[in-house]
Amino acid sequence: MPASQPRSRARDRNNVLNRTEFLSLNQPLKGNQESRSSGRKQSGQAGAAGAQNSSPKERRQSQQLPEEDCMQLNPSFKGIAFNSLLAIDICMSKRLGVCANRASSWGGARSMINLLGITGHGIPWIAGTLICLVKSSTLAGQEVLMNLLLALLLDIMIVAGLQKLAKRKGPYDINPGLLDYLTMDTYAFPAGHASRAAMISKFFLNHLVLAIPLRILLVLWALCVGFSRVMIGRHHITDVLSGFVFGYLQFRLVELIWMSSNTCQMLISIW
């Protein structure tokens, strides 16, 4: 035992790691440990105090941020499909807007396309229906004209209400005309001219006796009126297609609430 103690002491002296300059490699100084631990405690206390001082709304926002980021980075399949269809609709509508302004490829035909669109406007149709109603002398003719007037008024109110709800702008920044402001047709969805043309053509096909060429021309007129609104840059393709659908639904509604001849005569006598 006495011989082993001097040997272990000699070994410790010869060990390089036991020198003072290498002590920090084996065992950190207590002062450093205490400073680090105190720094961690202070930062932890500061974070806890900040969390306590923050309002519950900020805490909820900080907790919701990761979920919102995940929602944006991983959209659903329906969202991707809807955004893709919307982008295609906007792109195709802009390409088909060949008469949107004078500098467009078909800018010279803009006045003619506008004239075609006026044939599907509500104000000329209401004025023409009232004139025909005044000049009509048959009960059947007055019944048809009164129900057509009802259909035109319903079309204006329904389209104006839907446009106020959707508030969708057209593919081009084009200000509505005076007639559009009178019928409150200031937004793009749904297309009022398309719904009116579809409703009128279906109404005439059901309640007027027309030859086959006239029936074909009536359908072609409705299609041309609808897509003329795309050509001048006022509506998207989906606006026109939805206008056709709403026009058919309005016709079905008028058929359900069809006014009889006695009701029409009573209204005419009051007027």
Residues recognised as catalytic: 193, 235
What's the gap between Cα 232 and its chain centre? 21
